[in-house]
Structure 1
Amino acid sequence: MATLEYDFEANWKLIVENFLESYHVPFLHKALDKYSPATGRYQVHLAQDINGIGTQHYEGVVLDGTPLPQWPSENNLDYAEYFNGTPNFLLGLMPDHLFAWSLEPDGPHRTKEVLHFYFPEGSATDPAYEEHRRITLERWQQVNDEDHDIVQRMHKGLISGALTRAQLSPVMERNILRFQNHVLEVTSA
């Protein structure tokens, strides 16, 4: 297991909303878009409080022709799915690793994000895969560094008062709308 931590000067809900949409990937995450392209992404809705996105193609780290071992499966997996368990749990399932992230709000303007990464038995501690794991974690750190900046900028824009009303895409942001409606429902009760 490996862990990363981030402190956001932003509301936790913006982190979830950023997590639930993919159209920013080719613009903000150019490296990610090469091994997990935004084209072919789809939205997943499992339950009122479990929404996510998937990608039809995910390329894990391959060094000298050797990939990280994959999770046990009858097929060679090459897709990934990412889920938000409302309110503040994020889970990502890739062919060769998974992540579990928690968001810990500290008031309306700060959030601590704790990211845990797990690898299949055999590759989790095997020194032969140490470089694979290091590169995998560097990839996620780059993605999160990029998101860290943009989410904080979004928060500053929202609290500035310049935006009076947001318009969500009924196609590309269905899960964000579901998430917002669920939060509104449970906080209004």
Structure 2
Amino acid sequence: MDATAPTYTPTSSGNVVVDGPLSEETLGASIVPARAYTDEDAFAHEQQTIFRSGWSWVGYAHWLPRVGDVRPVTVAGSPLLLVRSDEDTISVFHNSCRHRGMVLTEEPIEVTQRIQCAYHCWSYNLDGSLAAAPYFTRERRGTPSPQAKDRLHLLPVDSAVWAGMIFVNLSDDPRPFLESAGPLVERWSYIDFDRLHLAAEREFDLAVNWKLCVENFLDFYHLPFVHPQVGPVAASLDVDDVVEDVDHIVGGTYPRGAVGKAKKTDDQLPYLGEVPDEMKESQDIFCLFPNALVFLEADWFQVIALDPRSATRTVEHMAVFVDRDADDPRYAKNIADLVEVLLHVNEQDIPFLYKLQAGRRSVGADHTSLVPQWDQITAMFQTIVAKRAGYAQAGVGTDE
């Protein structure tokens, strides 16, 4: 069958894959070649064809809590600046002075009014406009003309802020953010993301390819074997594969994932908005392609965002959020217990990620056996990667 055209059956929780990219005939096929997990040329190619061609996660809004906060980041090799320009606005610019192209800062800074380039002291307002260029005309008070100032604005980058996350699009003709994230925004419309309160944040610097982090996140088969605290195999059998957008959003949901948890008590964490009754027991697990891994329950929200640094290195930025009303001493133990569990789950995965990475250097890695009964969502993620990067599919994983 055409791997880009799975068929679905509508359910109350989303579109469940019933005939996805995998079939019995595709056992042994490699949708993404093994070299794409180890080869630096393949990594550079993906940076351009995937991370530079559409929307990707680039940071968290809480990294810029105050007006004047500036944070440098890099996406697809391009240095960028995240800037809190006013209380309600985060802007993104290319981190390059309009005079000689020097990066404006390589460390997070807080400025009162202007971002200044240290080379010739050109400075920029928080909205990116040129504020001053001393001796521009070789005179003591010589300043650029209004026309020159307009032309020498910091170059903006298309950006969006949603659910506490910052996204950018470096393509020449960017589509609106909601064209890729819209189905998930709509699915979670009952959540008031303005109420998010950061409960914890951790960084994991891993010697693995970014795609393995995504594939592990979407692998529900391993849960009872690697994470016994999540429940027996029967719990994984209760997961529905969900495709909200065949090119951008794949994942799964436990319609009854919260069953067995402590009943709601006075110190139970408050819900993230007006949660419908049918969603109070569910867990949503999605990849917002390519690098935002999101996990939602009624009373907490987790993001594992991926910053690919090389073919064999990925920095995970993990953040756990609760409702702002949970910022109260009586919820402290519940939050601490939640964070401990989520961190432990992530740490349990790390040795397996390293072994998966090591295995990608075997010729056998191009003959792996994704199975239709468990791996449709993983295969769909790999199909998106293969489509964007132009990798051959259906068993072709070599350079021959």
> TM-score, normalised on structure 1?
0.90
Shift of 1:187: 1.2
Q: Which amino acid aligns with 1:11?
A: N
The residue that corresponds to 1:94 in the other structure is 297
Pair 1:122 & 2:325 matched? yes
Pair 1:138 & 2:344 matched? no
Which of residues 230, 233, 256 is equivalent to 1:32? Answer: 230
| Closer, same or farther: CA 141–105 of 1 in aligned 2, 3 Å | same
Alpha-carbon distance in 2 for matches of 1:38, 1:162: 27
Shift of 1:19: 0.8
Alpha-carbon distance in 2 for matches of 1:64, 1:75: 13
Which of residues 264, 283, 288 is equivalent to 1:85? Answer: 288
Shift of 1:60: 8.8
Shift of 1:58: 1.8
Q: Which amino acid aligns with 1:3?
A: E
Shift of 1:151: 0.9
| Closer, same or farther: CA 64–51 of 1 in aligned 2, 3 Å | closer
| Closer, same or farther: CA 63–171 of 1 in aligned 2, 3 Å | closer
> Sequence identity, in percent?
26
The structure having more radius of gyration, on CA atoms, is 2
Shift of 1:121: 2.7
Matches within 5 A, 1:10-25: 10-25=208-223
Shift of 1:122: 0.8
**Structure 2: where are the runs of 5+ without partners?**
1-197, 392-400
The residue that corresponds to 1:70 in the other structure is 271
| Closer, same or farther: CA 60–149 of 1 in aligned 2, 3 Å | farther
Which of residues 358, 363, 366 is equivalent to 1:156? Answer: 358
Alpha-carbon distance in 2 for matches of 1:61, 1:112: 32
4+ runs of 1 displaced by more than 6 Å? none
1:48-81 deviation per Cα after TM superposition (whole angstroms, max 9, x unaligned): 2100111122259749954222222242701100
Secondary structure at the counterpart of residue 310 of structure 2: coil
Secondary structure at the counterpart of residue 69 of structure 1: coil
The residue that corresponds to 2:313 in the other structure is 110
Shift of 1:46: 0.5
The residue that corresponds to 1:52 in the other structure is 251
Q: Which amino acid aligns with 2:314?
A: T
Q: Which of the pair is proportionally richer in helix?
A: 1
Secondary structure at the counterpart of residue 299 of structure 2: coil
Contact 2:210 2:314 in 1 (8 A): yes
Q: Which amino acid aligns with 1:68?
A: L
Contact 1:4 1:116 in 2 (8 A): yes
Shift of 1:155: 0.5
Shift of 1:168: 0.9
Which of residues 157, 165, 172 is equivalent to 2:374? Answer: 172
Contact 2:275 2:298 in 1 (8 A): no
Shift of 1:181: 1.1
Contact 1:97 1:118 in 2 (8 A): yes
1:103-161 deviation per Cα after TM superposition (whole angstroms, max 9, x unaligned): 011110010000111101311x1111011111101001110011111111110111244
Alpha-carbon distance in 2 for matches of 1:161, 1:133: 45
Shift of 1:89: 0.8
Shift of 1:33: 2.4
Secondary structure at the counterpart of residue 311 of structure 2: coil
| Closer, same or farther: CA 100–64 of 1 in aligned 2, 3 Å | closer
| Closer, same or farther: CA 185–127 of 1 in aligned 2, 3 Å | same
Alpha-carbon distance in 2 for matches of 1:63, 1:46: 31
Q: Which amino acid aligns with 2:310?
A: G
